[in-house]
Every structure is written in structure tokens, then in C-alpha cells.
Amino acid sequence: MRLAQTFFFLCLSFITGIALAAFFNLPSFIAWEFFILGLFYCFIFLFFSGWSKNILTLGLCLLSLSSAIFYYQDRVAGFEQQKINDYLETAEPLDILLMVSQEPDVRSNHVNLTCDLKEISFEGETISVSGRLLVVSYRYPVYRYGDFLKISGVVQPATNFGDFNYRDYLRKEGISGIVYYPEISLVDNQSLTNWQKFYSRLLGFKEQLREKVNQYIAPPESYILGAVFLGDKQGIPDRWKEKLNKSGLRHITAISGMHIVILSTVLVTLFLSLGFWRGQAFYLTGLVIALYVLMIGLPASAIRAGLMVFFFLLAQKTGRLSASYRAVVFAALLMLIYNPFLLKDDVGFQLSFLAVMGIISFLPFFENKIKTFFKGKATTLTSLIALTISAQVFTLPLLIYSFGYCSLVSPITNILVVPFLVYLIILTALFLLAAFLHPILGLIFSWPIWLLLHYIVLIVSFFSALPLASLNLSITWFGLAIVYSFLLFILWKIRKNTN
């Protein structure tokens, strides 16, 4: 077995260990059994001649798997042992010094502030603490990233909503508790690091872009543009979220893996069609994606998706399909080392991974089928159709499991809309540049943007209003496993017939 293959199996083993610990809450003694068995196999290979190197690989994989279980359990223990957890059941208000550590999440009638803890004062004692709290406050006055706040309120543990595990969802973000509508005062004379200052300026620039969008583009088109270009999906009203769900286009409003996967592949196709070499197309696409993630304020979902897509494109640059699998798995490994809670509690991470794996696995098959349908003529449109179908094959079962619906018109609406996303983003960048230069230029450049957005709004409105646009479906974990096993079987048959 080659070194690259061995490393690939080690990465898979670590991810499997995280999955076992997260989904099945394995006790420590099972992890120790895996660890001891792994040492045993390594010992046999090292001290007894004649054994295959596969025995060593198996031993190393078991060690990697057990290490992942220990790592996950250690991160869970560290989260639960934070000092702030001692105050979650305290009914008395606490005086807390904290810093707004993410861009405020503005809703219709309140704002969610994710804050890093600095100090807690209780019963005359002030102590330094670490961790995060979610502060739910009124929309006004306005607070921004980097603001230091002194709040007085009761810290409450998260409460689950039905089947939705809200506590684990917040744990994914490092949030230990929630403070609802506390007394808040802004604290001056607090310093930020250079990175925090840079990020604060970046979010300030994003706010200026948001103001330009709302100045020139009216709702509902501004809802779509704000989400697609700036990641402001929370600004979309519930009725439009429902329309996007029914039409199968909700994913275009989320700067997540599926969004950036589609965008990056469209960009590569565009650059190649313009005559660039594959290597040049790779570097240009990577540069555009990096600038885009920076411009929208470095949301965590976009960073994760950008990292995964970068490794995917890097492997595609070599033209080796197996390298693509290894690259995506390695990207997932890096993200899970940084935050092991993503695998179970972050649907965006799951969809990012599955979208890329679907493209790698099924894109060549669907490209050939569509090329045959169009009598051997491959165009940018046919590539985009194959791309969209490939991404949805692996993500649709998880979407049904997570959200309980299936859009029957999704294949049609995605073909009608997705090819225009890259043009929408490019034209929006030109429009915003023109708007900063002169108001009249901004008005002129906003017209083609509005036409594209209005076209998307019409598609969403028309298809979501159809009687059978979507179905409410549910699937269990067991059913989900069967569906993905069937997809893997289909993939195996395709590969077997191809070879």
C-alpha cells in the first residue's frame, strides 16, 4: 500500500472515530480497546517478520480511530468544565464583561450577539473567565464586532426545541449559555488585537456594501442579493424562505459549501472557456474565492467551505480523481481537528462535504450522459447541469432528514438559476464599485442586477406556487443509512462499468 493511500485511511479512521464518539457516545473503555488492539498489530509487524504491511496500516488506523475518540471526549469535557457553567443555574443576575466576537445576527425584532467572556462579578468577587455567551438583546442601540460590553443579567442554559438539540448547536459555536435582554452598557478604553481591528474594519466595509444594496435595490430582490452576495440570509422574511424551500433554491442564499462549490466550478469553467490554462484557471479561481470570503466578512461557514473547495481544486489541478477524494477528506480532517463538534451538529459542514463528494463521484457520469443527450456537444450549460445534479444527488437525502421536505421542482429551478449566479456576483461587484464612485453610475449599473434578481424572484414565485412543488417527507437514521448505502452501490456499479 502506497504512503498516500495509508495517509488517506488514517484520515478516514480519525473522522470515523469522531463520528463514533459524537453519534454513539462511546464509553472510554471501548476507545482503550481500539488503542490496545492497534498497538498489538503494530507490535506484531515490528517484531515478527513475514507479516504484511497491511497489518501495520490496520494498527495505525485503529490508533488514529481511538485517538479521535479520546480527542472528542476531551473537548466535550473541556467545554463542560468551563467556569461559566458554574453560574448557569444561578437565579441572581451576574455582572459580566464581554466582547462581541462575531458579526451581530440581526433578526426582525431582536439581535443575537455572540460574545467572548472576559470577567464575571458575583457576590462581590470578580474573576477572569473564558468561553462564550449568546446575548439576546433589542435591535437598538446598535452594537458591533469588537465592542466591549458590561451586562447584568441571568445566564441560562440553552433549551432544546422539540427534536432540535439547541444546546449542542450552541456548543458547536463554543457557546455555554444565553442571557436574554440584559442591561447593557458600552465599555470604553478596551484594546483589540491587530487581527480584531482588521476584522472590525472588514465588517464595517461589509456594512457599507449592505447600505448600497438596500439603497439601489428594493425588496424582495434586495433580500436575494443580500443573502447571495453578502451572506445576509437572516434578513430574508419567513414567507420568502418558505418559497425558496419549495422551489429548491434555498441553498443559493447560504454562503456554504454547496454555494462555493458551485461558484468555484462555474469560475473554473468560465476561465477555461476564456482560454486560460487549467493551472491559471485554478489560481484565478482560488484568488476570487479568497477575496470573496474576505469581502463578506469571513463567516465560519464560508471559511470551512472555502478550505474544502481549495483542496478539491488543488487535487483537480493534478487531474487525478483519487487525489480529489484524499484532498476533500484531508480538508474535513483539518476542520474536525479545529472543531470536532462540526460533524454532528453543523448541517452546513455535512452538506459541504457531501456536495463536494457528490461532484467528485458523479460529475463525470452525468457529464457523459448529458453530452450524449445533446449529441456530443459539451457546453458551459451542460457542465452546469451535470454539476447541479451531481451535488444534489448526495445532499438531497440529508436535506430531507434535516428539514423534512423535498422539492420536486428543484432540478428545473437549479438549471434555470444556478448558471446565472456567477454573472450576478460579477455584476454586483461592478455595481458596488460604481455606486461608490458616483450615485448615477450606481443607478445605471443596478439595472442589470435588478433584471437578474427579478428573473430569480419570478422563478421562485412561479415554481413555489405549483401544487406539487414540494413534499413533506421524513426519514430516520436507519433509512438515511440505507439510502447512502444504495448511492454507494450505484457509484460502485458505475465505476465497475467504466473500468
DSSP for 363-408, please give it.
HHHHHHHHHHHTTT---HHHHHHHHHHHHHHHHHHHHHHHHSEEET
Pick 453 or 372 by higher pLDDT.
Answer: 453
In this prediction, residue 350 carries a pLDDT of 84
pLDDT number for residue 459: 94
Q: Contacts from 302-307 at CB under 8 Å and sequence distance 24+?
A: 302/231, 302/255, 302/256, 302/260, 304/257, 304/335, 304/342, 304/348, 304/349, 304/352, 305/255, 305/256, 305/257, 305/259, 305/260, 305/261, 305/348, 305/352, 306/260, 307/331, 307/334, 307/335
One-letter amino acid of 344: K
Looking at per-residue pLDDT, the higher value among 368 and 49 belongs to 368
pLDDT of amino acid 499: 62
State mean pLDDT over 336-348. 88
Which of 29-33, 312-316, 362-366 is least confident?
312-316
Segment 84-110 mean pLDDT: 83
What's the average model confidence in pLDDT over 107-119? 88
- 391 pLDDT band (50/70/90 cuts)? confident
Which is more confidently placed, 59 or 371? 59
Distance of CA 59 to the CA centre of its chain: 33
**What is the pLDDT at residue 54?**
81
Indicate the pTM of the whole model. 0.81
| pLDDT attached to residue 469 | 81
User: For residue 257, is pLDDT > 60?
Assistant: no
pLDDT, position 183: 92
- Cβ-in-10-Å burial (0-12, 13-18, 19+) of 254 comes to buried
pLDDT at 261: 67
Per-residue pLDDT, 463 = 92
User: 181 falls in which pLDDT band (50, 70, 90)?
Assistant: very high
Q: How far is CA 149 from the centre of its chain?
A: 29
| Helices and strands (DSSP H and E) totals, the chain | 18, 11
The whole-number pLDDT of residue 476 equals 84
- Tell me which amino acid residue 115 is: C
Q: Tell me which of 326 and 453 has the higher pLDDT.
A: 453
Predicted confidence at residue 33, as pLDDT, reads 92
Question: How does residue 277 score in pLDDT terms, banded at 50, 70 and 90?
Answer: confident
Q: Is the pLDDT reported for residue 330 higher than 60?
A: yes
φ and ψ of 48, to 5 deg:
-125, 120
Q: What is the mean pLDDT of residues 8-25?
A: 92
- Distant-in-sequence, close-in-space partners of 342: CB < 8 Å, separation ≥ 6: 172, 304, 335, 336, 349
Give the pLDDT band of residue 309 (cuts 50, 70, 90). Answer: confident
Window from 201-215, 292-306, 357-371, 473-487 with minimum mean pLDDT: 292-306
pLDDT at 107: 81
Mean pLDDT of 388-416: 83
pLDDT confidence of residue 319? 59
The mean pLDDT of 365-377, rounded to a whole number, is 74
Q: Which amino acid is at 289?
A: I
321 has a pLDDT exceeding 60: no
pLDDT digits (tens, 9 = 90+) for 429-473: 889 889 999 989 999 999 999 999 999 999 999 999 888 888 888
Q: Which residue has the higher pLDDT, 10 or 296?
A: 10
Taking residues 238-247, report their average pLDDT: 86
Residue matched to cell numbers 463578506: 296
Which is it for strands 105-106 and 94-100: parallel, antiparallel or unpaired?
unpaired
pLDDT the model gives residue 318: 63
Reduce the DSSP state of residue 173 to 3 states and report it: coil
- Average model confidence (pLDDT) across the chain: 83
